[in-house]
Amino acid sequence: MCGLHAMSASAYEGEDLEPSFYIDNTTEVLVEPQESDFCAMQRSPYGLTGEALAEHIIALQDGPCAVTYETGDIGQAGGRVFYTTDDGLHGMESAPNDISGLEWGCHRVQVEGVTSFGIGDGDVNSKDLEDNACASVSRWGGRTISDAVRDYEVKGFKDWYIPSRGEMSRMYSVLTSKGVGNFARDLYWVSSVLSSGYNRFTWMVSGGDGRLWNGERSLRKPVRPIRSF
């Protein structure tokens, strides 16, 4: 039997006493897990790996076990967060590493719908670029950024896309200001084309100083995929 026992203050001349709690040996005490322990278990569920685990982590971000991110933090897929919304609940994450040796593709071919260059435009640009089925100009079968990013996977996450010019510039400036990002001293492909590039040139962003460049689509350069969360 569980009870509460307290002596009257008058019995001890006004002295304040802590109440005493008594519990017998037959009472089962259940300790509920802390919310942080529950969420930690949710983020490392037993038996889930690869794509199934990635989908589970993505779903958690819209529930009570969501993680709040700041720019520079390691993201869900192991890259770096460079843009946040909703007080850090959502945003954009860079890939952990580059994919190198890629052509932009569609050299001397008009590509519709990929001139947008703002934050949030990369995903749409990438879909438009994939719809155009841009091919390499190499007779030896070089890879294009669209093909490479479509097949890219890290820790089961497959929802990567090619950053727009604005997204790549934001990624570079934010991450380098925090001493992270691991950018090569090279020119990076983006998904935004020049509106007057004669179907040969597209925008590029320098991994050395963040400056904007124009490059021929047949060059072989890196791309840093990104994803939204």
Taking only the tens place, the pLDDT of each residue in 144-191 is 999 999 999 999 999 999 999 999 999 999 999 999 999 999 999 999
Domain match, 206 and 149 both: yes
Establish if 83 belongs to a structural domain: no
Domain match, 196 and 146 both: yes
Domain match, 47 and 129 both: no
Establish if 114 belongs to a structural domain: yes
Establish if 73 belongs to a structural domain: no
Establish if 188 belongs to a structural domain: yes
Q: How many CB atoms lie within 10 A of CB 117?
A: 23
Establish if 158 belongs to a structural domain: yes
- Per the model's pLDDT, the better-predicted residue between 93 and 115 turns out to be 93
Non-local (6+) Cβ contacts of 191 within 8 A are 114, 121, 122, 125, 126, 129, 145, 161, 162, 163, 164
Domain match, 196 and 139 both: yes
* Cα angle value 207/212/214 (rounded, 5°): 110
Rounded distance between C-alpha atoms, residue 5 and residue 2, angstroms? 10
Taking only the tens place, the pLDDT of each residue in 78-97 is 999 999 999 999 999 999 99
Establish if 80 belongs to a structural domain: no
Domain match, 112 and 217 both: yes
Establish if 204 belongs to a structural domain: yes
Domain match, 121 and 201 both: yes
If one counts the domains in the chain, the total is 2
| Domain C-terminal end among 66, 87, 116 | 66
| Domain C-terminal end among 23, 50, 66 | 66
DSSP for 82-134 reads EEEEGGGTEEEEE-SS-EEEEB---TT---TT----STT-HHHHHHHHHHTT-
> What is the domain range of residue 110?
99-228
Considering the entire predicted model, what is its pTM? 0.81
Domain match, 61 and 103 both: no
